Amino acid sequence: MRKVTSLFAAAALTVGGIHFAAGIKDAAAQDYKDEYGVSTVVPEPFPWGIAAETWADLVAERTDGRINLRVHPGAELVQGNQTREFTALRRGSIDMAVGSTINWSPQIKELNLFSLPFLMPDYEAIDALTQGEVGEDLFNILEENGVVPLAWAENGFRELTNSQHEVRTPEDLEGLKIRVVGSPLFNDIFTTLGANPTQMSWADAQPALTSGAVDGQENPLTIYTNLNMHELGQDYVTLWGYVADPLIFAVNPDVWNSFTEEDQKIVREAAVEAGQVGIDAARDGLVPPDTSLIEEIEAEGVEVTRLSEEERQAFVEATRPVYDEWAQEIGEDLVRKAEEAIENR
């Protein structure tokens, strides 16, 4: 605080009224909470947790301790029910969150955009959406629905794993029991591909995979490696990048409005920087020429299948009816804008 106070004092020598403004800022800061809860799903060393913890560290440092964020992984602030997170944030039960677009899609249908099967062929396509007009449109929608979005991070492309056999064609999925997240769009995708999708929490999924009650699952490879899924019998990995899961830094409006403009700027800029740290972590070892994370998985004896363009296209065509149906639900104008942004990336 000494440094900040001295800066305001210096400003008061040259500009009338600044010292008084500083007094207002100090008074406002006295009304700040001792600690602000940040909801997230997974902790460090997952990229998601890295992004959240980096945000907390940067904010504490740059506000000289005026604003202290405490990260609560495991969606513990909503008793582990990830899909309730957005509602809790909007109502003020949660101060802040680094949330999944998948988990928030039940309340914000437009966020299903990122779960349209095979919309995004590569990381540049994700960036074309989140860092362009589509991302701005989605942030406007979030604001209209009662939260203040600040920045993007990333959980990564979701890849397919199973314990039974290599999956190289849509027919290879026939009859496989696949654990999916709690979104009807994911149910539709895997049902269309002939699999048997099963929605369950991750706490239930781990023993189900171990016992063979469930054959496979879909998650980013950073989740696969950090949880040692090869030890759960997930011996086959298919790199198909069928959907991605961008993350959003957001704040409850009442909390946001309680901050001074100076602190709002600090919190927002810290979120942007932390988001980039999380994105880099989510892509580390997965973007050619550095594919070291994939090589680590193969070193465990796991069979990793890399689809050719023709093989991937077979999945694209098989899931096209789901894509078209959900494009109408999401909003055809938004989907069209996303397609054009990706084509022009």
Q: Could you report the per-residue pLDDT of 256-309, keeping only the tens digit for each?
A: 999 999 999 999 999 999 999 999 999 999 999 999 999 999 999 999 999 999
**Predicted confidence (pLDDT) at residue 325 exceeds the cutoff of 70:** yes
For residue 328, pLDDT over 90 is answered with yes
pLDDT bucket at 202, cuts 50 / 70 / 90? confident
Which comes out higher in pLDDT, residue 29 or 217?
A: 217
- Tell me how far apart the alpha carbons of residues 98 and 73 are, in angstroms, rounded to a whole number: 10
Nearest by Cα to 126 from 286, 250, 252, 269? 286
Burial 290-324 (b: 16+ CB within 10 A, else e): ebebbeebeeeebebbebeeeebeebbebbeebbe
DSSP state of 213: S
Check residue 29 and give its pLDDT.
54
Q: Tell me how far apart the alpha carbons of residues 211 and 204 are, in angstroms, rounded to a whole number.
A: 11
> Cα(217)–Cα(167) distance, rounded to whole angstroms?
12
Amino acid at 171: E
Range in 38-42, 65-69, 75-79, 341-345 the model is least confident about: 75-79
**Least confident stretch, 6-10, 152-156, 308-312, 320-324:** 6-10
User: Looking at residue 201, what is its pLDDT?
Assistant: 82
pLDDT, residue 31, reads 86
For residue range 163-180, list pLDDT tens digits in order.
999 999 999 999 999 999
In this prediction the pTM is 0.90
What mean pLDDT do residues 82-103 have? 96
The region of weakest confidence among 13-17, 52-56, 184-188 is 13-17
Q: What percent of the chain shows pLDDT beyond 90?
A: 86
Q: Kindly state the average pLDDT of the residues 13-28.
A: 42
272 or 20: which carries more pLDDT confidence? Answer: 272
Q: Enumerate domains of the chain plus CATH numbers.
A: 2-19+33-343 (3.40.190.170)
Give the closest residue to 234 by CA, choosing from 276, 192, 205.
Answer: 205
pLDDT recorded at residue 30:
58
- 18 has pLDDT over 80: no
Q: At what angle do helices 123-130 and 133-144 cross, to 10 degrees?
A: 50
pLDDT digits over 106-154, tens only? 999 999 999 999 999 999 999 999 999 999 999 999 999 999 999 999 9
Work out the average pLDDT over 236-264.
Answer: 98
